[in-house]
Amino acid sequence: MRGPVDLGEHPAQAVLDGAIGLALATGVPLRLRGPLQGADLAVALAAVKLGGDIEAARDLLSRTGDVEFPLPHPRAGVHVLDLPDAGAVARVLWTLSWPLALLGRPSVLHLRGPNHAEGAPTFHDLRLGWAPFAAQFGLKIGLSLTQAGFGSEEGEIVASLDPAPALTPLRSVHRGLLRQVNVIAAVGGGRNDAALEAAEQVVRAIRRQGVIAEAERVPLPLPASSVGRCRWAITATAEFEHSLVTFSTLGQAPALAETAQGDRLAERLARFLQRRGALDALMAERLLLPSVLCAAGLGARAGAPPSCHYTTSEVTAPLLELATIARQAVPVRAVVDGAEGEEGVIVVAPQA
């Protein structure tokens, strides 16, 4: 077994999550600086709950200073995970799905906690934007939203994982022509005028750029405590010939500037279209973990491990750092070709 992977103090979300996923899949221990707090702690404890002693882990991670954090071998099955911190639901789904996929048996994750928070992916980001890429790795994921949780409200997403016997390689170098943009206004409770106006503003802004766009409304299941209070999320999904990307925004009625929110969402899409990468920066970070596990040949694989190859609209510092950690933890070549802040090419291949 290789020595501990040192994460230092306050690693970026994608770095911590990717390292936890690698540790679960390979048994390599992590060295980090405690105490962990908030969503970082929630992700770490959720990983332990797949097969270890969560109270002992909580005590270990509450200590100040450097701690060595071993992770258990995960078990397939039904796992109920309480994630009270904003952003933790998506991070746990991104992180735990891949070690569980390597087991080759179905699993179900009940992810309980806020699932619509500012700066975090919405349910539709996960279902429309991330799940299709997971399927390219051979992991079929069924996502259902049993309860939408905004801000600090508790919600629940249920993820059914149906993995292939071994991960299949991702190759997404050229995104191809843009086919269309779908704008979803997911609305629950109260009046929905603000949400629909924001969605229509996104459509109008995108059409001014010469892109076909359509809007639709879907319901959101809200907790009883939110009855009469409007909650909404808008997700724009751009479908290309060989790739896709999603961007979202949240609102609560009465909205102060739904038009401005619609314009900002359209601007984010326009910035992505100005570049050539097949994946946006966030997706490039999150798909590095399964790419590494695939190229390492982990799971029930026959024959030589394959290589993964994709491009991104922006190289980020966490992407570069996680590639370095991957090379330390498993025998792969994880190469990011591109300067930070610029377009880049990612190649993950078995070590020669």
Q: Which range is least confidently modeled, 59-68, 75-84, 206-215, 238-247?
A: 206-215
CA distance 70 to 30: 6
Task: Give the mean pLDDT of 208-223.
Answer: 88
Q: Within 10 Å of residue 158's Cβ, how many Cβ atoms?
A: 16
4 in Cβ contact with 66 (< 8 Å): no
Beta strand ranges found along the chain (DSSP E):
5-8, 30-34, 65-69, 78-82, 107-113, 139-147, 155-163, 171-172, 178-188, 213-219, 231-240, 244-252, 308-312, 332-337, 344-350
Mean pLDDT of 254-276: 77
Residue 253: per-residue pLDDT: 44
Q: What is the residue-averaged pLDDT of the chain?
A: 92
For 113, residues 6+ apart whose C-beta sits below 8 A from its C-beta are 42, 82, 83, 84, 85, 88, 89, 149, 154, 155
User: Would you place residue 191 in the very low, low, confident or very high pLDDT band (cuts 50, 70, 90)?
Assistant: low
pLDDT in tens, 6-19: 998 899 999 999 99
Q: How far is CA 92 from CA 22, 33, 82, 148, 178, in A?
A: 13, 20, 10, 17, 31
Distance CA 17, CA 32 (A): 12
Bridge partners (DSSP) of residue 235 are: 184, 248
Q: How crowded is residue 351: how many other Cβ atoms within 10 Å of its Cβ?
A: 12
Q: Are the C-beta atoms of residues 143 and 118 closer than 8 Å to each other?
A: no
In this predicted structure, what is the pLDDT of residue 303? 79
Residue 345 has pLDDT above 90, yes or no: yes
- Examine the pLDDT at 204 and tell me if it is beyond 60: yes
Contact 138, 164 (CB under 8 A): yes
Residue 133 has pLDDT above 90, yes or no: yes
CB atoms closer than 10 angstroms to residue 4: 18
Helix (H, G, I), strand (E, B) or coil at 279: strand
Q: Which residues of 124-152 are buried (b: 16+ CB within 10 A; e: fewer)?
A: bbbbbbbbebbebbbbebebebebbbbee
The residues facing 236 across adjacent strands are 183, 247
Grouping H, G, I as helix, E, B as strand and the rest as coil, residue 89 is helix
Task: Give dist(CA 318, CA 295) in Å, integer.
Answer: 20
Q: Which residues make Cβ contacts (< 8 Å) with residue 287, sequence separation at least 6? A: 133, 170, 279, 310
Q: Which residues pair with 178 in a beta bridge?
A: 240
Of the given ranges (35-49, 143-157, 247-261), which has the lowest mean pLDDT?
247-261
Q: What is the pLDDT of residue 254?
A: 46
Q: What is the mean pLDDT of residues 289-298?
A: 96
Place of tokens 């102060």: 256
Average pLDDT of the residues in 186-207: 83
pLDDT tens per residue across span 83-104: 999 999 999 999 999 999 999 9
Averaged pLDDT, 254-272: 74
Q: Is 112 exposed, middle or buried (0-12, 13-18, 19+ CB in 10 A)?
A: buried
CA angle 188–194–196, rounded 5-degree value: 75
Give the pLDDT confidence score for residue 255 in this predicted structure. 47
Rg, Å, the chain Cα set: 20
pLDDT computed for residue 257 by the predictor? 54
- Over residues 36-44, the mean pLDDT reads 97
Which residues neighbour 277 within 8 Å (Cβ) at sequence distance 6 or greater?
175, 284, 311, 312, 313, 314, 343, 344
| pLDDT tier at 285, thresholds 50, 70, 90 | very high
Average pLDDT over residues 150-156: 91
Examine the pLDDT at 153 and tell me if it is beyond 50: yes
Question: Percentage of residues in the chain with pLDDT exceeding 90?
Answer: 78
133 close to 71: Cβ distance less than 8 angstroms: no
